[in-house]
Amino acid sequence: MQVQNLKGFRRSQSFKIMGTQPAKSSLRMRTRVLQNTAALLGGRVLSIVLAGGASVILARYLGSEKLGEFGAIYAYATLFGWLATFGIDSITAREASIDRSQATNILRTGTRLCVIFAIGATILSLVIAPFLGYKGHLHFLLIFAVMEMLLLSPLRLPGVVFLVDLKQWYSAGINLLRQFLWLLLVVALAWLQARLITVIVWRFIVATLEAILIWGFSRRFLPRLREVSADRARFYLASAAPLAFSSLLASIYMRIDQVMLHNMVNDSTLGQYVAAVRVSEMFEMLPAALIASLVPILSISAKDQKAFHAYLDRTLRYFLVLACAICVFITTGAGLIVTLLYGKQFAAATPLLAVLIWSEVSTFFGTVMVAAMVARNLQRYLLVPTAVGALSNVALNFYLIPRYAALGAAWATLISYSLAWFVVLLAFRQTRPLVLQGLRWAIPALVLALGAAWAGTLLPGSAVVKIVAGACLYAAGAVAARLFRRDDIEYAWAALAHSQAKPE
């Protein structure tokens, strides 16, 4: 009965929010989203620079073989991330966005559940590890990696309140502090020529500090109540189960390639692959930052088809244009980027990066799809694309790695990501409109990006000339195809002007 009341209250709150707000509230909401996104984006850009600097120093200092071990350890730990939270973080974010007055109880209940799952995930990952090739010193190193990736999850979960209140600059600032400290430590460790175990232990210490800060600052926005609802817990588990298993499958197709390269080839080859992955995945911070500001808006507007469609359409267009722009830049400059970052010892990473970067288009697209499907309570369908992505990725890796080694793994990643997010969800009536809405922007953006990257790489001259030419061609095409419009500038300007206005 209480679960039904929860659902009824959620629906009534949603209609109340959408039905009684004055017209001016749309501009206020736009302003809050713009300010929050600007803070997040600025923080993420700085984090990317700091994280990139740390990755470069770490790669040059460790070399390809030790970098391969480092990547294999954290890739394995990531495979159990789904169990550490069981998708409860996404459900609590949705519920707290809709019913802010109950946010404390919602997050407290979610955190208690997360503690149980995090401990179970930590134990399970360490028990299974020796059977998957993580023995001896690798198993010892893995202890610190799984504590960082899994056991600290409950301390991070209350940070959902930053997202709910559109105050993500707290999480952005804390993350920025972590990246700054980690960069300083990596510089010191490289100068001291510290062993890999020392690197991993210090990474765990910095991650622990970040988790404690998230926990501490989140308490400022949550009254100290002790209520934990059993009915809420059951409801969250039922709602989160599809997300949890979807995350399991997603982690398989996102990390299994590194685990398979570790077991099927060698850590030196894996090190080249990890170097390319590090560059490619740095950009995955951007969709995570951008979508964080929009999750509450999408959740609240889910019952209003027109408002939801407008928010989603603009989000999809921005994400896809940005993702394709990144692909053009990295593809045309892959050789120069790898050489500048890692040196000639990682030259084999160049063709890997040129392939892997295109998987970011489906990653950006999938980020929006997940947020939209959770907002519309369609998370049960997330199992399908992730299952197809995981199965196709494993099958392709088994076929391609023995023949093409790391390059085969890169193509397996690109194909499986694209199949999972651009194709599979078209099979269902409930999710088809969302995907078609995204393909409306994805197809022209991809065609323009592929053409610009191809033309740029064919041009004679230095890598800088190729990058500039590719970027100019893509920008001109985006404007001509109306992927970027004048009203986008007006949209941002109106929100900025409103944010500077005096309150009435």
Q: What is the pLDDT of residues 263-272, one digit of tens each?
A: 888 888 888 9
In a domain, 251, yes or no: yes
In a domain, 296, yes or no: yes
In a domain, 69, yes or no: yes
Is the model's pLDDT at 353 over the cut of 60? Answer: yes
Q: What is the pLDDT of residue 343?
A: 86
Quickly tell me which residue has 């000339």 as its tokens.
Answer: 465
pLDDT band of 376, cuts 50, 70, 90: confident
Q: What is the pLDDT of residue 12?
A: 41
Q: What is the pLDDT of residue 64?
A: 85
Is the model's pLDDT at 309 over the cut of 70? Answer: yes
Smallest CA-to-CA distance from 420 within 453, 396, 386 is with 386
Q: What is the pLDDT of residue 359?
A: 93
Q: Which two tokens stand for residue 32?
A: 């809050």
In a domain, 19, yes or no: no
Q: What is the pLDDT of residue 223?
A: 62
Amino acid identity for residue 123 in this structure: I
Alpha-carbon Rg for the chain, nearest whole angstrom, is: 23
Mean pLDDT, residues 111-131 taken together:
88
Is the model's pLDDT at 160 over the cut of 80? Answer: no
Q: What is the pLDDT of residue 9?
A: 34
As a whole number, the mean pLDDT across the chain is 80
In a domain, 21, yes or no: no
In a domain, 306, yes or no: yes
CA distance 281 to 293: 20
pLDDT band of 3, cuts 50, 70, 90: very low
Domain limits for position 442:
32-500
Amino acid identity for residue 23 in this structure: A
In a domain, 254, yes or no: yes
Is the model's pLDDT at 199 over the cut of 80? Answer: yes
Q: What is the pLDDT of residue 34?
A: 56
Locate all alpha helices (DSSP H) within 129-229, ordered by sequence. 137-146, 153-156, 160-164, 169-192, 196-218
Q: What is the pLDDT of residue 323?
A: 94
Terminal CA-CA length for the chain:
43
In a domain, 233, yes or no: yes
Number of domains in the chain: 1
Mean pLDDT, residues 380-392 taken together:
87
Question: For residue 116, how many other CB atoms are within 10 A of its CB?
Answer: 11
Mean pLDDT, residues 440-459 taken together:
93
pLDDT band of 419, cuts 50, 70, 90: very high
